[in-house]
Every structure is written in C-alpha cells, then in structure tokens.
Amino acid sequence: MKSITKTLVISLYLTSTLAQAEVESWYTFWGAGVSNISYSGDRGTEIEILSQEDASVGGTHLNAFGFYFPIDNNSIYGFVAHGATSTFTADSLYIEDITYNDTMLAFSYMNFYGSEIGDGLFYRTDIGYSEASRTVSYAKNDFGTSESEYEFGSGMSVLLGAGYGIPVSEESRVLILLEYRNAFIADNEMQSIGVTVNGLW
C-alpha cells in the first residue's frame, strides 16, 4: 500500500512539473475584441452628427506585432501595436462607411500572479506614441470604389488592462483582457474600453 501511495505522489508531481511551461527567451502577442469608444473635439462633433443619422456603429480593439521578453518567472516587457477603431456604416447613396482609427506603438509590461507567465490573474500597462485618422469609403459608382483619409494628429497614449491567463500547452496561452485606453491628441482626445481575447506564444 505504501509503495502504491508513493508511486501516485511521484506521478502527480511529475505530471504537474511537465505541465508547467518553461520560461521562453521571447514571446509574441496577438489578439482582438470589441470596444466602446468616445471622442472629444473635432471627432466628437462629427460623431454627434453621425449619431443623428441612420448609421450603425461597431468598435474594435486590436493587439498586433507584440514581442515580449521575460524579466522573471511572472513578468514580461516588450513592444506592441494597439488599434482602437470605430466604424460607422451609413445608409447613403454616396458613403458606405466612415472609420475612425487610433493606432499606438507602445512599450508594454505585463505581470502575472499565477505560477508562470501566462497563468492566472495579471495586469498590463502600456505607454506610447499614437496617431488618429479618419477614412471615408464612398459608395461604388461607374468608376469603382474610392476612399479619402484625413489625419487628426498625433500624441501620447496610455493603456491599462487586467485579465486572466489560461495556459493551453507548454508554449501557448490564452489571455482574456479588459482594456482601457486614452489617447492624448490636441482637440481630439479618445477614450475606449474593450474586451479582447489574445494569444501569447
């Protein structure tokens, strides 16, 4: 009986050890989700007008080209691109949709409270450079589809996030993240709250 118990204890220990991922030399981070975005200044005025029209709106958050490096067994730092987008689809003979984009290239830090990177509760902080623009897609005509783009400016942006990480293999983790972002652009400040599902490899 003692030998069987000893064997079970050793087996459970080995299983838990093998399931825990080793700290990698670097990680890549990608994800997307939905968001609710508000604007001030020129964009805020435009969107007030759009909201009075028969236009549907959809908001998205995107995390892309994230590359991170470990500090210790529970924290990583790196660089990531983040996008916050609102798209208004208009019921118009002339315009198909109007898209407001806020893109950010940021220094990023994540800290996990589980047994390893990508496990359990965690928080994320980003700070970086942000640009804001508007793209109008016009309805198709005899000459095809055309677009026009306008740049609102650039400035600093910050992102704060909290979520939960789920290791799915020794090299893959799913991170569910609640994000808050603020872009400080003169007369065109943007605030957004989003939920994203991300992969960390």
Q: What pLDDT is recorded for position 60? A: 96
Q: Residue 78 and residue 146: Cα distance in Å, rounded?
A: 37
Instruction: Say which amino acid occupies 173.
Output: R
Q: What pLDDT is recorded for position 89? A: 83
Q: Is residue 169 part of a domain?
A: yes
Q: What pLDDT is recorded for position 8? A: 40
Q: Residue 16 and residue 4: Cα distance in Å, rounded?
A: 19
Q: Residue 180 and residue 198: Cα distance in Å, rounded?
A: 15
Q: Mean pLDDT per segment of 10 residues, for the chain of length 201 residues?
A: 48 44 88 94 83 79 98 97 91 77 97 96 98 86 70 94 95 96 90 97 94
Q: Is residue 2 part of a domain?
A: no
> Does an H or E element contain 2, and which?
helix 2-19
Q: Is residue 80 part of a domain?
A: yes
Domain count, the chain: 1
Domain residue limits at 175:
31-200
Q: Is residue 17 part of a domain?
A: no
Between the CA atoms of 138, 139, 144 and 146, what dihedral angle is there, to the nearest 10 degrees? 10
Q: What pLDDT is recorded for position 14? A: 42
CATH number, position 46: 2.40.160.20
Q: Is residue 11 part of a domain?
A: no
Q: Is residue 65 part of a domain?
A: yes
Q: What pLDDT is recorded for position 194? A: 97
Q: Is residue 16 part of a domain?
A: no
Q: What pLDDT is recorded for position 118? A: 96
Q: Are strands 55-70 and 173-184 parallel, antiparallel or unpaired?
A: unpaired
> Does an H or E element contain 187, and which?
none
